[in-house]
Amino acid sequence: MFKKILIANRGEIACRIIKTARRMGIATVAVYSDADARAPFVRLADEAVHIGPSPAAESYLVADKIIAACKQTGADAVHPGYGFLSERTSFAEALARENIAFIGPPVNAIAAMGDKIESKKLALKAGVNVVPGFVGEIDDTEHAVRIAAEIGYPVMMKASAGGGGKGMRLAYSEQDVRDGFEATKREGLNSFGDDRVFIEKFILNPRHIEIQILGDQHGTILYLNERECSIQRRHQKVVEEAPSPFVTPAMRKAMGEQCVALARAVGYYSAGTVELIVSGADPSGESFYFLEMNTRLQVEHPVTEAITGIDLVEQMIRVAAGEKLDLAQEEVRLDGWAIENRIYAEDPYRGFLPSTGRLVRYRPPEGQFHQAPFADDGTGASGEAYIRVDDGVYEGGEVSMFYDPMIAKLVTWAPTRDEAADLQVAALDAFEIEGLSHNIDFVSAIMQHPRFRSGELTTGFIAEEYPEGFHGAATSPETLRHIAAIAGFIATARADRARQGDGQLADPLDPPYDWSVTLGDVTHAVELGEDSVTVDGTAVDLDMEYTPGERLVDASVGSADYGVKVAPTRGGLRMTTRGHIHDVRILPAYAAPLARHMIAKVPPDLSRFLICPMPGLLVALNVGAGDKVEAGQPLAVIEAMKMENILRAEKSGTVKSVNAVQGESLAVDAVILELE
């Protein structure tokens, strides 16, 4: 067995690998860039080596620096995690030349499966179903337009070396191809050092199903059931679960055996994932097609660990050391249900714009939740539902523009799918993040969505269910009454605290116990007695405690339980629960009539300005002063967190002035240009 492992990665995956290695008695080495000097994974490792500036191209992607760190520390093996160098054949070959073990598959398998174009050719030869498309290199945009027309729209353009949702564009028309082909090439080159693109048919009503593969160097290859990863945004997975609510036992067996045959054809060992696109329009479940194979650990591997009880990182280490798998296919279990939500630094209320900055407050859910021990056996000793949080950030730390925007992964396991989803909602309510925008409300809304609960998923779920953008989870009138009751209780507690303070100087005044609580356009009358609470004249059963200043409040109203994040505002409270932000105005009942005469402040019209929505690099500027523009026309492209974002004109007009230049790094809200 290895004595010391270097982790050629960062963030939560580095922490996760270090924990398993430590449990196995193996020393660990972290490598870090300038931006990660104080990151948790650096402190968690036994040793740490600085490898360069913040940009990944100058640190984590420089193989020579990783190998130098191995030599400096005496590491005899490298675990690459995912992303960065994990699927670079040149890196695995360089390690072999230095007699350093690569904890991953053989070089020939990485080469065969890591290249999407070549992998499709191999899959065709092996008799595996593949999506109709053009398997070969595309010369230029005009060539891409001709190919797309021959295949038939819609089509998907993909970077050949891509992964993680980057370097992908969906095209419904020739104009979409013309607009997106060069951007796809740039993203492939910037993220993977390879600008080759291929085009394939986009399957209607598609579900994204993937099979986890695990093999050793002695010829054993297993499939560890499937994961459903259909809920995606811009082809980036957001929610993953295992098993899939769509896959039947017969379908699971057919998929698994086909994926094992493909892996065997390239002599695969270690952990890997075969991704399949499945037509949800086919009720038989037989229309599944090979999409790609990721020759590495996946971000979503914890849900497979939860239902099988297998620590995938441990098995990767043991396989790399030459050990045999001590498991047969019939022994692979499928126990309960696991769901993973990716917590991203992005603002779902503003079109999912990336968010960077300092984590002023970071408190993962704990307390009332059963925390899974690391690499839990799937159910724990008692079969009790649990949560698992994989993260690599800390309170006071910074989410940088240089890397992926993922803050953490929240995983829940329970005996049933609904129970796992309910636990997600409760844990998300207790997840405190302040200082930057995040998607907690959004994923909570998905967990509660009737279509998610029904299991009727496709990769178009988000676009179809939130066509006008995200504005908070749906909230019933009953829930609004419950929130009003909680707000009235909080207002009373705050008023009572103020009364106690006033009592130091003068006779105490009884605080008001009757409140006018406004949520949105609806005002509720909330009355609190010594032993009763009424909302709009109807008694409610409220059970809660609150001390002024608390940020997170647990309350029960009738049979409903709420975890409510509370922040004071002028005239009321901001209360966030169950995926919805409630800006609540609270007034004593006697003062409510006066509020009707207050004048509302109208926000200024900024539509003539093109404003940078996030910190990033201006990689393209399409217009100049004096140019005529039409509403919806692309004006500029901002690159942030390894993704390109097209900025379009909100209205037609003439460019009055341009305030930025291509190649400039811009701050959030910087004015790029102004229309007359």
Q: What is the pLDDT of residues 230-246, one digit of tens each?
A: 999 988 899 999 999 99
Indicate the pLDDT class of residue 601, thresholds 50, 70 and 90.
Answer: low
Mean pLDDT of 410-421: 97
Quick: pLDDT tens for 2-37: 999 999 999 999 999 999 999 999 999 999 999 999
Residue whose C-alpha is closest to residue 343's, from 260, 495, 446, 259: 446
Sequence-distant (≥ 6) Cβ neighbours of residue 460 within 8 angstroms: 205, 206
Residue whose C-alpha is closest to residue 77's, from 59, 98, 62, 63: 98
Quick: pLDDT tens for 653-665: 999 999 999 999 8
Cβ–Cβ < 8 Å for 336, 379: yes
Task: Please tell me the predicted confidence (pLDDT) of residue 279.
Answer: 83
Indicate the pLDDT class of residue 160, thresholds 50, 70 and 90.
Answer: confident
Indicate the pLDDT class of residue 377, thresholds 50, 70 and 90.
Answer: very low
- Asked if the model's pLDDT at residue 339 lies above 50, the reply is yes
Task: Please tell me the predicted confidence (pLDDT) of residue 495.
Answer: 85
| Least confident residue range of 100-104, 285-289, 499-503 | 499-503
Number of H helices, E strands in the chain: 17, 42
The pairing of strands 4-7 and 77-79 is parallel
Q: Which two tokens stand for residue 366?
A: 């704990």
Task: Please tell me the predicted confidence (pLDDT) of residue 512.
Answer: 65
Cβ–Cβ < 8 Å for 133, 198: yes
Domains of the chain, earliest start first? 4-103 (3.40.50.20), 132-202 (3.30.1490.20), 208-465 (3.30.470.20), 477-595 (3.30.700.30), 609-675 (2.40.50.100)
Q: Which two tokens stand for residue 512?
A: 């008001």
Query: Within 10 Å of residue 125's Cβ, how many Cβ atoms?
Result: 9
State the Cα–Cα distance between residues 242 and 301, nearest whole angstrom.
10
Check 187, 292, 639, 644 and give the catalytic one. 292
Cβ–Cβ < 8 Å for 333, 370: no
Sequence-distant (≥ 6) Cβ neighbours of residue 200 within 8 angstroms: 131, 132, 133, 134, 151, 155, 156, 158
Cβ–Cβ < 8 Å for 572, 592: no
Sequence-distant (≥ 6) Cβ neighbours of residue 555 within 8 angstroms: 486, 489, 542, 543, 544, 561, 562, 564
State the Cα–Cα distance between residues 432 and 259, nearest whole angstrom.
40
Task: Please tell me the predicted confidence (pLDDT) of residue 594.
Answer: 56
State the Cα–Cα distance between residues 186 and 403, nearest whole angstrom.
17
Q: State the sign of the Cα–Cα–Cα–Cα dihedral 311, 313, 314, 316.
A: positive
Distances (CA, A) of 656 to 517, 581, 609, 622, 653: 46, 38, 10, 14, 9
Q: What percent of the chain has pLDDT over 90?
A: 71
Cβ–Cβ < 8 Å for 439, 343: yes
Q: Which two tokens stand for residue 497?
A: 């605290």
- Asked if the model's pLDDT at residue 40 lies above 70, the reply is yes
Indicate the pLDDT class of residue 598, thresholds 50, 70 and 90.
Answer: low
Sequence-distant (≥ 6) Cβ neighbours of residue 520 within 8 angstroms: 480, 582
State the Cα–Cα distance between residues 514 and 499, nearest whole angstrom.
16
Q: Which two tokens stand for residue 506?
A: 């003068």
Tell me the sheet residues that pair with 181: none
Q: Which two tokens stand for residue 500?
A: 């106690």
Quick: pLDDT tens for 44-73: 999 999 999 999 999 999 999 999 999 999
Task: Please tell me the predicted confidence (pLDDT) of residue 71.
Answer: 98
User: Which three-class secondary structure string do you get for 167-208?
Assistant: EEEEECCHHHHHHHHHHHHHHHHHHHCCCCEEEEECCCCEEE
Mean pLDDT of 556-576: 94
State the Cα–Cα distance between residues 191 and 168, nearest whole angstrom.
12
CA angle 4–5–7, rounded 5-degree value = 150
Task: Please tell me the predicted confidence (pLDDT) of residue 356.
Answer: 87
- Asked if the model's pLDDT at residue 506 lies above 70, the reply is no
Task: Please tell me the predicted confidence (pLDDT) of residue 376.
Answer: 47
Indicate the pLDDT class of residue 128, thresholds 50, 70 and 90.
Answer: confident
Indicate the pLDDT class of residue 614, thresholds 50, 70 and 90.
Answer: confident
State the Cα–Cα distance between residues 346 and 440, nearest whole angstrom.
10
Mean pLDDT of 257-266: 93
Q: Is 292 a catalytic residue?
A: yes
- Asked if the model's pLDDT at residue 380 lies above 50, the reply is no
Q: Which two tokens stand for residue 410?
A: 């929240």
Mean pLDDT of 132-152: 88
Quick: pLDDT tens for 618-673: 999 999 999 999 998 999 998 876 678 889 998 999 999 999 999 998 888 899 99
Indicate the pLDDT class of residue 139, thresholds 50, 70 and 90.
Answer: confident
In whole numbers, what is the pLDDT of the chain averaged over residues?
A: 90
Indicate the pLDDT class of residue 596, thresholds 50, 70 and 90.
Answer: low
pTM attached to this predicted model: 0.83
User: Which three-class secondary structure string do you get for 202-236?
Assistant: CCCCEEEEEEEEEECCCCCEEEEEEEECCCEECCE
